[in-house]
Amino acid sequence: MIAAKQLHMTVYASLLAALTAAGAYLAIPIGPVPIILQNLFIFLSGLLLGSKWGVASVGVYLLAGALGLPVFAGGVAGIGRFAGPTGGYLLGFLPAVYVIGWITERTRKRAVSDVLAMVCGSLIIYAFGVTWLKTLTGMTLANTLAVGMYPFILGDALKIAAAVPIAKALRPVINR
Amino acid sequence: MAELSAFNFRPGSSVLHGLDVRFKLLFLVLISVTSLKAYPVSLSVLTLVLVAALLHAQRSLKSIFKAFRYLIVLLAFIFFARALSVPGSAVIEFKAVSITREGIYHGAMVCWRLVIVVLTGLAFVSTTRPSEIKAAVEWLLNPFPFIPSKRIATMMSLVVRFIPVIFDQARETADAQRARGVDNRKNPVYRLQKLGIPLMRRTFERADKLAVAMEARCYSENRTDPGLRAGLRDWTALFVVICLCMFIVV
């Protein structure tokens, strides 16, 4: 039974990594910066799979990108992306998904705890992304925040709001 | 049936199809890294070589352009961001904003390099079977202890397999909703909700069926993978690619 459960989790983690890749292609044009669905699926990996399998899912996604499969935003791939200006956000996904999974594993799966977990997750992503962007471009902190964080906050709030009902609908499918 | 996306494997018998995957993976990394150091002359050579390789691998020019459909917006955005932010002699000036010659040159260079990276990725993915990618990943991760290389390789090939399935399912769900008159609803939140949740449910159910099918066929991590064999042809190709990269850097 344990092996079967593991196989299911392997397949689900791969599916979420594939969804993240697909989400990097789909952009919803609302507001000045298009909303990219990539981190919605990062949030969902944490919420649905928990810390261990969430990290596995995101790790496979990043590895696929590093090897040059076209899975990052805009279809641009390659190991060079980690050294590029958005590399910090990509690396930040790993600790973020771990923390989201860790929080949901320790709380009753309610909307409030889900939102709390995702807010912590986004803060971690921004901490990594903005620090890296700042060291790479040499901008001041205020400027970096204006470029690399403020435009995305509204989108993130919408994604968090969208992730709650999706997680609620999918948990029964996964935890059968 | 899912429409073949630009990044799908197409069977063929070209040199690119025949090369060892590990070498192709190495070429991918080498070319992406060196393209960062390239300037107009060497970039044109690189572009010509890549397009010739893609044509040789039986990809039409039309399908290459199709792959760039989504990328164009991003490229335009990067180009203008560079053109506006790099200081230098102004070409067009409008109030506080000025487009400089250096900026245009800089932006064009960055976009060209990105195009090179995508062309290389396209050449790799469209001539390599997912199972070969899996074998190469496994070979790559094998020397590292404590990393379950077999499982990671399986997950990687599942990811490649799932991406077209997701797009296929999205189209199917959208068609089903259009048939039920979802176009009459103007509220975008309502429409996204009615599209998103069934779509996610369906893809997860498909994944579930796949897991059951794997289980029923006694899936285990001990299985034989396609053999990786490096011959004279691969070493020659490596020599050619290294020469090309040296030419670019110098």
CA–CA distance, A26 with B91 (Å, rounded to integer) = 35
**Beta strand pairing call for B90-94 and A35-36:** unpaired
- Contact yes or no for B70 and A25 at CB 8 A: yes
Query: Touching check for A31 and chain B: CB below 8 Å?
Result: no
Query: Are the C-beta atoms of residues B119 and B213 closer than 8 Å to each other?
Result: no
Burial of B158 (0-12, 13-18, 19+ CB in 10 A): buried
Domain ranges of chain B: 15-129+230-249, 149-216
H or E stretch at B78:
helix B71-85
- Between chains, do B118 and A75 touch, taking CB under 8 Å as contact? yes
The chain-wide mean pLDDT, for chain B, equals: 77
- Residue A16 pLDDT class (50, 70, 90 cuts): very high
Contacts of B125 in chain A (CB under 8 A): 69-70
- The yes-or-no verdict on residue A32 having pLDDT over 60 is no
* B51-99: pLDDT as tens digits: 888 888 777 777 777 767 666 766 777 677 777 766 666 666 666 666 7
* B31: number of Cβ within 10 Å: 26
B94-129 burial string, b = 16+ CB within 10 Å, else e? eeeebbbeebbebbbbbbbbbbbbbbbbbbbbbbbe
| Better pLDDT: B181 or B145 | B181
Mean pLDDT is lowest, of A93-102, A108-117, B225-234, for B225-234
Q: Taking each helix axis as running N to C, give the angle between helix B130-141 and helix B21-35, from 0 to 180 degrees, rounded to the nearest 10.
A: 80
Report residue A109 CA to chain centroid gap.
Answer: 19
Shortest CA gap A27–chain B (Å): 10
Which two tokens mark B135? 């074998």
Task: Write a three-state SS string for A49-98.
Answer: HHHHHHHHHHHHHHHHHHCCCCCCHHHCCCCHHHHCCCHHHHHHHHHHHH
- In angstroms, the Cα distances linking B186 to A144, B175, B213 are 38, 17, 41
Average pLDDT of span B40-50: 82
pLDDT confidence bin for A96, thresholds 50/70/90:
very high
- Three-class DSSP category at A139: coil
Q: Classify burial at B69, counting beta carbons within 10 Å of its beta carbon; exposed 0-12, middle 13-18, buried 19 or more.
A: exposed
pLDDT in tens, B116-132: 877 887 788 778 777 77
**B155 vs A76: CB contact, 8 Å cut-off?**
no
Confidence of residue A99 (pLDDT cuts 50, 70, 90): very high
Q: Please name the residues in contact with A43: beta carbons below 8 A apart, sequence gap of 6 or more.
A: A100, A118, A121, A159, A160, A163
pLDDT of B152-164, one tens digit each?
888 888 887 888 7
**For chain B, how far is it from start to end, CA to CA, in angstroms?**
48
Cβ-defined contact of A68 to B121 (cutoff 8 Å): yes
Chain B CB contacts of A65 under 8 Å are none
Query: A146: how many CB neighbours lie within 10 A of its CB?
Result: 12
Please give, rounded to a whole number of angstroms, the shortest distance from the CA of A25 to a CA of chain B: 8
Distance CA B197, CA B171 (A): 14
A169 to chain B: which residues are within 8 Å by CB? Answer: 197, 200-201
Domains and CATH numbers, chain A: 2-174 (1.10.1760.20)
Tokens (6 digits) for A21:
């890749």
Residue A27 pLDDT greater than 70, yes or no: no
